[in-house]
Structure 1
């Protein structure tokens, strides 16, 4: 079994409150879950209204499949016009890795 994850650090556009931040981040998380059948959540910078951390994880039997899903999720987030992708961290492990 292969386990892969992404951690996005994003800068939000014209956002002036935590309520406006949620209105931008929630649809991104929902779209990631719906389109790629992954686990996704806001994972960082909860107290900052213009920054957000978004985490994504995927599990699969084949390494290539997990990599394809993570690549597609990264392209989706990078293509959003309402945010600026500052950085992406990625991990990929096999379940029997020590």
Structure 2
């Protein structure tokens, strides 16, 4: 079994409150879950209104499948015009490591 994860650090555009932040971050998280059937959540900078951390995780029996899903998820987040992707951290591990 292979487990892979991504941790996005994003800068939000014209956002002035935590309520506006949720209105930007929630659709991104929902689209990641829906499109790729992966776990996704806001994971960092929860008290800052212009920054967000978004984490995703995927599990599969095949390493190549996990890598493909993570690559596609990264492209989706990077293509969102309402945010600026500052950094991405990636992890990939086999269950027997």
Is TM more than 0.5 here? yes
RMSD over aligned Cα atoms: 0.2
SS at match of 1:64: helix
TM-score by length of 1: 0.99
Q: Give the superposition deviation at 1:11.
A: 0.1
Tell me what 2:51 maps to.
51
Q: How does 1:1-98 map to 2 (within 5 A)?
A: 1-97=1-97
Q: Give the superposition deviation at 1:88.
A: 0.1
Q: How many residues align?
A: 97
Q: Give the superposition deviation at 1:47.
A: 0.4
TM-score by length of 2: 1.00
Q: Which runs of 5+ in 2 are unaligned?
A: none
